[in-house]
Structure 1
Amino acid sequence: MGDGLVSSEAVPMLLCAIALVLLAGAFGGADAALGTVSQARVEELVRQRRAGARQLQLLIEDRPRHVNLLLLLRLGCELSATVLITAFCLQAIATGWVALLVAGVAMVVVSYVLIGVGPRTIGRQHPYGVMLLAAGPVRVLGRVLGPLSRLLILVGNAITPGRGFREGPFSTEVELRELVDLAGERGVVDEDEREMIHSVFELGDTIAREVMVPRTEIIWIELTKSVRQALALSLRTGYSRIPVIGESVDDVLGVVNIKDLARASVEGGAQQPIDQSVKDLMRPASFVPDTKRLDDLLRQMQVSHNHMAIAVDEYGGTAGLLTIEDILEEIVGEITDEYDQDEQPPVEQLDEDSYRVSARLPVEDLAELFDVELDDSDVDTVGGLLAQRLGRVPLPG
């Protein structure tokens, strides 16, 4: 190429490439920052009337779409800069393959330092400062380039196996769990908080049968019993809600609440003698399949304002009983109050090589505790596992 061509066209071409590299770095930093900011912190900035906070709040309300937009802008600027640098090298260097080699090496270094590592590190270290400055321009670009971004997402989903995503791919549950573990390792969340977050994820994988009070341990009262007897049973056992049964425990007719029993006892008199039948005070019972997921059951209890459910097996018999406390304990751990009796721990070490294990302990918990693999495909508890392996019902003790 001639020197005149280099001097008249190559320099502006190089300047444009530099500008595109800087823009690509800015978009990369904004991408990293947008993935780091929290909604609670942004709402606090809005209350403080910080400049750009309202625009940032609008961005994170549709975070996946704007993350994809920033990715598109960064790639567009980076590829355009690569083309311009290659053209500049072809004009400035006589040998074609040498020019391509120089352009390739230069853009690898520039992309790694000025577009990749540098801006993304700044974005993660100062996410709110970066996004308060970038929120306005990103919102404008989102309105202008929104149709193009959505079109490219549709094209990507069309050629990708599976159903795709309406707003493009985003984090999976596994990735979110890994992020929580990373936050725990860096001290962002403590161990109790990390375990609680993992428990929330596991709630959707846990079914009622795994946490219910089994049929054999249900405290119940017969329909023919009196309010006085029901109140005495409630005070003796410490339970505030007791199932009312007919002919057998498979015939659950309702639930009696200690508040109703206490009210009847206090009011007394001829109108509501406490020797009346519990039938007059019982409330309707809620029945759920023992395979119902706990997250769905918790939502159902919240909507129906019901704190107890009777779990029913596939044959229609009573399998067990659950309360809202049983579900919450799967998230926050054991909940006890001054009326709860001291319970024996599910696993108790007797000596160096001996442990006492509750028959109700889930098999997967036992396997995790002792770091062993157990075939629990047909059973849920240690008691069931022993019965399966022994071929008989083991004796208590």
Structure 2
Amino acid sequence: MDPTSTAIDSAFWITAGAILFLLVLSGFFSGSETALTASSRGKLRAQADKGSRGAQKALDITDDNERLIGSVLLGNNLVNILAASLATALFTRLFGESGVALATLVMTLLVLIFAEVLPKTYAITNAEKAAAAVAPVIGLIVTLFSPIVAAVRLLVRGVLSLFGVRIDPDSHILAVREEIAGAIQLGHSEGVVEKEDRDRILGALDLGDRTVDEIMLHRSKIEMIDANEDPEAILQQCLQSSHTRLPVFRDEQENIIGVVHAKDLFRSMYAEVGGAEGDADRLKQFDVAKVANPPYFVPDTTTLDDQMREFLRMRGHFALVVDEYGSLQGLITLEDILEEIVGEIADEFDLPDEVPVTRTEDGQFLVEGAMTIRDLNRTMDWTLPDEEANTVAGLVIHEAQMIPTVGQVFAFHGFRFEVTAREGNRVTALKIRPL
């Protein structure tokens, strides 16, 4: 046998084996990148808490995604370029100049199938398992390549800075809260998460972004006690009221002097008259201000999350909301905040509410102007914006840049709004339908 032919055959198999090994390495890098970036940190944390060292290592190396991706891409490009060079040399030796085109075609197919699609498909379907398995090896590679990656990182940031792009190394593409909200919305759109569950979870997540003035009971709807009224009238008002706590004012409604609890009021009045056998005429000397608790005022810019924590800390349920000038704007209770999470809470003493949204015969929806946009979105599963206004009427006024009259029709945000009722400067009812 010709020794030259034997040498060529030996070189062929050695080169082919090296290319195959490099393809395996390329698949490893590609799959590792996908597994580590697609895995859920929450699931990895749960596995790490159960004693999985691989999961803990995966958490550690994904803390710096920029360094991780840089190291993996560096390794992946090294093996891909080396494999392509060996394949070009091999095919050129066998087929001459036409071997370059043939090597490009063959390596493209091999890399695409066995080094990209196959490992990434497995990694995306078994992200946490694959991430925990490859994390120790990838961690070693990240350590070895860290000097080169650091230099590349500086070069990349220098180039980006020329275009005015600044990179915060401590920032994350998505905050944890946004990731949860996005996952819940996606699960609801796919039918995995029920609407009620979605509303509760998103309601709890939104407490830190919303302020008390968005959900407070407006001052025009607050039921108050006039301290100058006769005690009999005050007693009658409390007996007929559906509320347990009522603000007390003197002379003018802005002058809140306290908040009276119905139980305290009844107990004090009972003691004032001398019990069941007492003299009712003694009730005329009763002063409601003496049994009222000091009023608790909060700024209208307080977030719902902070206000709920403050309610729990002070063991209170009731606060009066004021603006920056100290003027009374409304009131808020702990129940109002909880309703933003769990939905409407009603008991046997609550007055029966009308249906918030009524469907008309022509397919439109009759909505009260004072209904909040958030409640309308939750009821109808719509996505009307609530950044510029809290109520439906406020949204129409904001978009129209005027106080509309009855019968006027507007179209914005993919909906048709028709004003059906107005009292003074307040839009009290509208008809809405999606366009």
- Relative to the length of structure 1, the TM-score reads 0.73
Q: In the TM superposition, what whole-angstrom CA distance separates every residue of 1:11-53 from its partner, at most 9, and x where no partner exists?
A: 564254124213214413532552375367537x71xxxxx52
Relative to 1, partners in 2 of residues 1:101 and 1:370: Cα closer, same or farther, differing over 3 Å? same
User: Is 1:282 equivalent to 2:293 in the alignment?
Assistant: yes
Q: Aligned partners of 1:8, 1:179: CA distance in 2, in Å?
A: 50
CA RMSD of aligned residues (A): 4.7
Aligned-pair CA distance for 1:350: 4.7
Q: 1:288 to 1:306 in 2, by over 3 A?
A: farther
2:352 paired with 1:342: yes
Q: Deviations over 1:281-336 (max 9, x none)?
A: 403413212x4443444455455544333222354321111122222322332122
CA contact (8 A) 2:71 2:146 kept: no
The residue that corresponds to 1:77 in the other structure is 75
Paired-residue identity, %: 22
Q: Could you say what secondary structure the match of 1:24 adopts?
A: helix
Q: State yes or no: 1:329 paired with 2:336.
A: no
2:244 is matched with which residue?
Answer: 240
Contact kept in structure 1, 2:224 and 2:249, CA below 8 Å = yes
Please name the residue that 2:133 is paired with: 133
Question: Residue 190 of structure 1: which of 188, 191, 194 is its match?
Answer: 194
- What is the SS of the residue equivalent to 1:65? coil
Aligned length in residues: 386
Q: 2:367 aligns with which of 342, 357, 360?
A: 357
Change in CA separation of 1:228 and 1:12 when aligned onto 2, cut-off 3 Å = farther
Check whether the contact 1:34–1:131 (CA below 8 A) recurs between aligned residues: yes
Greater Cα offset, 175-184 or 86-95: 175-184
* Alpha carbons 1:206, 1:293 under 8 Å: kept: yes
Instruction: Report if aligned partners of 1:24, 1:78 keep a CA contact under 8 Å in 2.
Output: yes
CA distance 1:168–1:281, change in 2 (3 Å): closer
Once the two structures are superposed, residues 219-265 of structure 1 have per-residue CA deviations (whole angstroms, 9 ceiling, x without a partner) of: 22245679998776555433233323233222233433456557757
- 2:85: which partner in 1? 87
Listed as ranges, the matches of 1:243-258 within 5 Å are 243-258=247-262
Could you tell me which amino acid in structure 1 is paired with residue 174 of structure 2? S
Name the CA distance, whole Å, in 1 between partners of 2:426 and 2:332: 26
Pairing 1:27-106 to 2, within 5 Å after superposition: 27-32=32-37, 34-35=39-40, 38=43, 41-42=46-47, 46=50, 53=52, 55-57=54-56, 59-60=58-59, 64-65=62-63, 67-94=65-92, 101-102=101-102, 104-106=104-106
Q: Per-residue CA shift, 1:126-150, capped at 9, x if unaligned? A: 3443344345445666666678767
> CA distance change for structure 1 residues 122 and 254 in 2, over 3 Å: closer, same or farther?
farther
Equivalent residues in 2 for 1:144-163, closer than 5 Å: 159=160, 161=164
Q: Please list the CA deviations of residues 360-388 of structure 1 after superposition, one character each: whole Å capped at 9, or x if unmatched.
A: 12368769969899999678442895881
Tell me, yes or no, if the aligned pair for 1:25 and 1:114 is still in contact at 8 Å: no
Q: Give the match for residue 123 of structure 1.
A: 123
Q: TM-score, normalised by structure 2?
A: 0.68
Query: Where do 1:223-238 residues align within 5 Å?
Result: 223=227, 233=237, 236-238=240-242
Match of 2:29 in 1: 24
Judging changes above 3 Å, is the alpha-carbon distance between structure 1 residues 335 and 84 closer, same or farther for their aligned structure 2 residues? same
More strand as a share of residues: 2
Distance in 2 separating the partners of 1:231 and 1:54? 68
Check conservation: 2:185, 2:198, Cα contact below 8 A.
yes
Unpaired segments ≥5 residues, structure 1: 47-51
Distance in 2 between residues matched to 1:169 and 1:342, nearest whole Å? 47
What letter corresponds to residue 28 of structure 2 in structure 1? Answer: L
Give 5+ residue unaligned stretches, structure 2.
1-6, 275-281, 406-421, 430-435
Q: Determine if the alignment matches structure 1 residue 217 to structure 2 residue 208.
A: no
1:267 and 1:152 mapped to 2: Cα distance?
Answer: 82
Distance 1:264 1:67, change over 3 A: farther
Equivalent AA in structure 2 for residue 360 of structure 1: A
**Greater relative contact order (Cα 8 A, min sep 6): structure 1 or 2?**
1
1:309 to 319, 342, 345: 319
Q: Which moved more, 1:296-305 or 1:325-334?
A: 296-305
